[in-house]
Structure 1
Amino acid sequence: MHKLVVISGDGIGREVVPVAVEVLEKLLPNLKTVKAEAGWDCFQRHGAAVPEATLQALRDCGAGLFGAVSSPSQRVNGYRSAILQMRQALQLDVNLRPVRSWPVVSAKQGVDLIILRENCEGLYSGREHLEADGVAIAERVITRDACKALALRTLEVAKARNARRITLVHKANILPLTCGLFRDTCLEVLEGEGWAAQLDERLVDLAALQLVQQPEAFDLIVTTNLFGDILSDLACHWSGGLALAPSLNWGQGIALAEPVHGSAPDITGSGRANPLAAILSLALLLRYRWLDEDNAKRLEQAVESFLQQEGRADFGVDTTRVVREGVLAAL
């Protein structure tokens, strides 16, 4: 039996997650769901953005879906982003972000790439301090173990999709110690497993330019936490924007599916929230955590069929309902 921890989170997370779960239940009639809490609203109610009960539920089930998180732009004592806490506490050390062309909604056809990024370290390690009045310091943490874990996950994905190209993205010319360690560790692992012929490198600024110019030239992009966060949001333009941007936070024996979009307070409750990113995130959970390629493809094909039949990129004021009904019908 498949078990899924359902964490709606904040804002439109409470609107898109139930739709995604309903779609998954159609594929997996015996799915068992466990509701849990996390996010800014949870922090305001309980004083903890991620209660220990939520972490334990994820450990017990080994799989989860997280909807969206709101985070204040200024420092709030005791609060840290819920998704960052879950990534680090559960050692979800790899983030997987596919970008592909879809019918109607994509600005360009022929794009099919995956961005794999380290998910717990870098400038998101949480190591910040005030050194003096008007001087704030953030520490960029890169470890060999985390880079090796990322490279090993890259091997899994590269073998599964028979990757034609693996591009390491870094800034080792400016950050020779941190980016240098990332680059050298990934090269050692990937070359050692016979992938030297498929490997190339890009400095992050050039990679950003080329993702705009010729995204179809990329296959797998492997990079550090902050660089991957930015590049994947840039690249998702080619798949139709954040509304169709899924991701998977991937650890050992545990994974947390997460649509990339935020809590979108400006449209919360309006019916305009698009659940496709949440639905597609569950396809990643099926493929990479539950190793159920057949149902992952069925889910993605249902989304493709829905988009083709709908024939429009904007689903109007009833987006949530239109997408729900359309994808369920396509299944």
Structure 2
Amino acid sequence: MIAKSPLRVLVAPNAFKGTFSAFEVASAMAAGVRRALPEAQITCLPLADGGDGFRATLVAAGGGRTSRHRASGPLLEPVWARVGWLPGRSGETAVIELASVAGLARIARPSPHTAATASTRGLGELIRAGLRGGPAEILVGIGGSASTDGGAGLARALGYRLLRADGCEIPEGGLGLRQLHRIESDRVDRRLAGVRVLAASDVTNRLLGRRGAAAVYGPQKGADRATVAGLEAGLHRLAEVAGRDLGTSGLEARPGAGAAGGTGFGLLAFCGARLFPGADLVANACGLDGALAQADLVLTGEGRFDRETVPKHCAIVSIAQRAAPNGPGSPGAL
């Protein structure tokens, strides 16, 4: 009599935003499988798409390390945040997660005021901390932001000066961008030019318009209708002035430029970054394809699944796309 092989189960969830990390979700799902199927062979592979858990997932998959740094939170309050470090043949890669330093989860009560004034300055401070480590490249996960400042805060942390007509710095936050008159780059950290910057995002929104950063994601961050209109005007002004002073015309129309309140645009314009789908980047780093090939059943999920999920570059969509080509014998994803 031939013994039946145990069911091979791959547990590969994303974080449940605002509740559990991907590691915690995977652990809970695995415990449930063990109770129902004690003989099953379970493999846990927590995933991410650029938001919460991005750094931790990549560091765990790559056998990396972390360093701890003081930085500015979304409302410029002092916070502690970490930079991940992954080994590589041509040097280390610094891994930075926007959500961990300037994410919406750091604001207890989002409101029109916080939506108007939240900043990405802390992200720029972590990038600068990464530069001090001499990495070959910097990988930035840009999901889960609290701000809609187009990356203006991160730019200032890196040495750019965003000035009003009278020569004074504009206020922090997206509404302050309406006062932008010129951008000066003569004080930018010179180390930035020698490092590749890659940005991982889970959305393809452009910077401006009814599907842009302010219109789609501003209300989620506390913005009312008037604040959304002001943020849209500020982002339009940023794109206009950056195009003139930095030669970045057209970047606002790139898919992903509207990610994280326009941080995608900011990384493109101020750091010369390249944008990638975060879920695919993490999946490749974690060896998802190999794990799928060895599985009979795949369990995945994230905190919310609705009509906005499918167009996103999220982990569960990445799993479904990768599993489907394997045909009738491929694992079932639930």
**Fold match by TM threshold 0.5:** no
Structure with the greater alpha carbon radius of gyration: 2
Give the number of the structure whose residues are more often helix, by fraction. Answer: 1
Greater length-normalized contact order (CA 8 Å, ≥ 6 residues apart): 1
- Per the normalisation by structure 2, the TM-score is 0.31
